[in-house]
Amino acid sequence: MPLNLDQVGRIARLAHIEISPAEALQTRDRLNAIFALIEQLQAVDTAGIAPMAHAVDVSQRLRADVVSETDDRRAAFQAVAPETEAGLYLVPRVIE
Amino acid sequence: MINASLKELSAALAGKRLSSVELTTLFLDRVERLNTTLNAFISIDRSKTLDMARAADVRLAAGNAGPLTGIPLAYKDIFCTEGWLTTCGSKMLSNFVSPYDAHVVERFKSAGMVTLGKCNMDEFAMGSSNETSFYGPVKNPWNTGRVPGGSSGGSAAAIAARLAPAATGTDTGGSIRQPAALCGLTGLKPTYGVVSRYGMIAFASSLDQAGPMAKSAEDCALLLNAMAGFDSRDSTSLERPAEDYARDLDDPSQALRGLRGLRIGLPKEFFGEGMEPGVRAAVEAALAEYRKLGATTVDISLPNSGLSVPAYYVIAPAEASSNLSRFDGVRYGYRAPEYADLTEMYCKTRAQGFGAEVKRRILIGTYVLSHGYYDAYYLQAQKIRRLIANDFAEAFRHCDIIAGPTAPGTAFEFGAKSSDPVQMYLSDIYTISANLAGLPGMSLPCGFDAGKLPVGLQLIGNYFDEARMLNVAHRYQQVTDWHQRMPEGLSI
């Protein structure tokens, strides 16, 4: 399971976190220490055991498919955004 | 007044011996004097707080008050509080003024509690020492060269130093119980689903729970009564009949019976090596006290508990990697000042906005969920989670409640565990399994070690057994006074 620098780079790209080459080395070593901890799980026989995603045995609650929120909170939500215009959020151009 | 219980404060307010404004001012003044040393609070707003106190006084005068009206409460900075900064201890949210209140905040406001401020915490709740906060570490009031525990370190330090009579915390792997233990307080993590997570910034959604932190079980029961209950806005909130968590505490027949008939299970895995001698001595003394109260102790085993830390460090980072993907500089929070394109904006924002521990956990989570690794790691961890929950189910056939140390040691020195993340992770070795199983857990103070640092006793109950756990803690607190001790030098 120990990672190499390429794998660290790949995971960082997937996670959208920029890592400098210097950071990548330290990160790789730290991550490998944690993976060594996790490795213990591999030796356990879990044949026939159902995975547990949730503490209590309940299923997702559903509601009627009708509009329930009537206040317009756009102004309040946009007030905390880095850049907005006309009710939209501004980001660098994606499509040429 | 700074040492008074919530019941005593409520009586004083109802009896007009002091007003909410006077009481709140008392605590605000202490915060002003001591926060630069302890760094327990990230945000204080005297004027907003006193406005709330004035409103509480109006309710008190109108006879429209409840048992918590007019009492100040500190919130861990993970709860969205409308009009206040909610930072999660991170640069990523250092400019985020929440446009809404968390469900827990709404409930305390309607109970008339006064928002004292927002408490410091490990960044995004990831940590066991409050050393990862963007706002700097919190100091343990019992020894300012040592950590208060984490991630609810600010909440714990605030109560221990009597800057606040009560606080909210959150617990994903022990983050209420472990700081409560290290700071000599009582803290409770309810059964998963009992307290709504709406407006509580998510770390690991299948593990996170909010809970009360205070000086006693009696105080925690009052707070839990206000916090608990169904909320349709949290899809994991459970619909159950309302409960009075304090019902056993005042019951005279409970007082008469003591704890006769109570079977306390002691997992052999929680009493093995790795426990500091001072912790062991205090916990054994507490168990002796419980036997005097009439309880019997039973040896039990939780055979898979050794896998709880590794399983947690697959599941929690996996869920965190998903939850923290929303922090991208688009709709709220920090945005990198320079970038060439959208991808670079995301990557630089997240590189600059998150601290090292948070980034590490996101990377671990991303890896274990990625194609080719999901079955081997995440799915395997979830199966082990089932084994751990099954161990508890089996144990509860032989006992009513489980007890042991909350943490393997007492408050450690700053930097002692930060060079090796795995060392830090092992601080949660006794608390994590309750989160994985979704069971309620509590810590209460049971003594001090040779260095005069607090030791916590942990109780783990069966699902929805909070009322009994609080009673079991309360009976002990009626015959001991560990929970009333205060750090020296802070009594001014």
- What's the ipTM? 0.95
Q: Give the distance from residue B435's alpha carbon to the nearest chain A alpha carbon, in angstroms.
A: 8
Confidence of residue A94 (pLDDT cuts 50, 70, 90): confident
Alpha-carbon distance of B199 to B211, in angstroms, equals 14
pTM (global) more than 0.95:
yes
pLDDT at A71: 87
The partner residue sitting opposite B346, judged by closest CB among A16, A60, A89, is A16
Q: Does residue B151 have an active-site annotation?
A: yes
With contact defined as beta carbons under 8 Å apart, do B240 and B192 qualify? no
Set of chain B residues whose Cβ sits within 8 Å of the Cβ of A13:
347
pLDDT average, residue stretch B308-330: 97
pLDDT at B203 over 70: yes
pLDDT average, residue stretch B143-163: 97
pLDDT at B492: 47
Structure tokens at B85: 């900064």
pLDDT at B489 over 90: no
CB pair distance less than 8 Å for B192 and A55: yes
pLDDT at B256 over 80: no
What residues are paired with B445 via a beta bridge?
B456
Set of chain B residues whose Cβ sits within 8 Å of the Cβ of A66:
none
CB pair distance less than 8 Å for B206 and A89: no
- Pick the catalytic residue from B10, B155, B175, B443: B175
The 3-state DSSP class for residue B329 equals coil
Nearest to B490 by CA among B218, B213, B183: B183
The partner residue sitting opposite B347, judged by closest CB among A18, A42, A44, is A18
> A46-56, pLDDT tens digit by residue?
999 999 988 88
CB pair distance less than 8 Å for A91 and B310: no
CB pair distance less than 8 Å for A41 and B362: no
pLDDT at B265 over 50: yes
Chain B residue at shortest CA distance from A60: B235
Contact partners, residue B112, CB within 8 Å, separation at least 6: B55, B56, B59, B65, B66, B68, B69, B70, B71
Q: Give the distance from residue B359's alpha carbon to the nearest chain A alpha carbon, in angstroms.
A: 8
> B338-395, pLDDT tens digit by residue?
999 999 999 999 999 999 999 999 999 999 999 888 988 999 999 999 999 999 999 9
The partner residue sitting opposite A38, judged by closest CB among B314, B354, B363, is B314
Which of B234, B363, B364, B391 to mutate to test binding with chain A, by most A CBs within 10 Å of its CB?
A: B363
Residue A16 belongs to some domain of the structure:
yes
- Pick the catalytic residue from B5, B19, B76, B305: B76
pLDDT at B274 over 90: no
Which of A3, A10, A16 to mutate to test binding with chain B, by most B CBs within 10 Å of its CB?
A: A16
Q: Does residue B175 have an active-site annotation?
A: yes
Name the residue range of residue A23's domain: 5-43
Structure tokens at B192: 């998963």
pLDDT at B149 over 50: yes
The partner residue sitting opposite B364, judged by closest CB among A31, A60, A79, is A31
Q: Could you give the angle at the alpha carbon of B318 between the alpha carbons of B316 and B319, nearest 5°?
A: 65
Contact partners, residue B139, CB within 8 Å, separation at least 6: B37, B38, B39, B145, B146, B148, B157
Set of chain A residues whose Cβ sits within 8 Å of the Cβ of B362:
15, 17
Residue A36 belongs to some domain of the structure:
yes
Residue A39 belongs to some domain of the structure:
yes
Nearest to A23 by CA among B287, B354, B81: B354
The partner residue sitting opposite A17, judged by closest CB among B362, B385, B422, is B362
Structure tokens at B184: 């000599």
pLDDT at A1: 64
Q: Give the distance from residue A70's alpha carbon to the nearest chain B alpha carbon, in angstroms.
A: 15
CB pair distance less than 8 Å for A18 and B232: no
The partner residue sitting opposite A38, judged by closest CB among B232, B313, B366, is B313
CB pair distance less than 8 Å for B363 and A27: yes
Output the CATH code of domain B6-259. Answer: 3.90.1300.10
Q: What is the mean pLDDT of chain B?
A: 96
Torsion of CA B298, B299, B304, B309, to 10 degrees: 80
CB pair distance less than 8 Å for B377 and A41: yes
Alpha-carbon distance of B225 to B73, in angstroms, equals 15
pLDDT at B254 over 90: no
Chain B residue at shortest CA distance from A54: B206
Confidence of residue B463 (pLDDT cuts 50, 70, 90): very high
Please state, for a pLDDT cut of 90, what percent of chain B lies above it: 93
Chain A residue at shortest CA distance from B205: A54
pLDDT average, residue stretch B153-157: 98
**Lookup result for tokens 């790209």:** A13
pLDDT at B257: 81
pLDDT at B491: 53
Q: Does residue B76 have an active-site annotation?
A: yes
Domain tally for chain A?
A: 1
Please state, for a pLDDT cut of 70, what percent of chain B lies above it: 99
CB pair distance less than 8 Å for A14 and B366: yes
pLDDT at B444 over 80: yes
pLDDT at B255: 79
The 3-state DSSP class for residue B438 equals coil
Residue A25 belongs to some domain of the structure:
yes
Confidence of residue B181 (pLDDT cuts 50, 70, 90): very high
Set of chain A residues whose Cβ sits within 8 Å of the Cβ of B463:
56
Chain A residue at shortest CA distance from B426: A37
pLDDT average, residue stretch B468-488: 96
- Pick the catalytic residue from B151, B305, B321, B443: B151
> A12-67, pLDDT tens digit by residue?
999 999 999 888 998 999 889 888 888 889 899 999 999 998 888 888 899 899 99
With contact defined as beta carbons under 8 Å apart, do B449 and B229 qualify? no
Residue A19 belongs to some domain of the structure:
yes
Set of chain A residues whose Cβ sits within 8 Å of the Cβ of B95:
80
pLDDT at B424 over 90: no
With contact defined as beta carbons under 8 Å apart, do B229 and B192 qualify? no
Set of chain B residues whose Cβ sits within 8 Å of the Cβ of A54:
206, 236, 438
Set of chain A residues whose Cβ sits within 8 Å of the Cβ of B343:
16
CATH number of the domain that residue A15 is part of: 1.10.20
Domain ranges of chain B: 6-259
Set of chain A residues whose Cβ sits within 8 Å of the Cβ of B368:
38
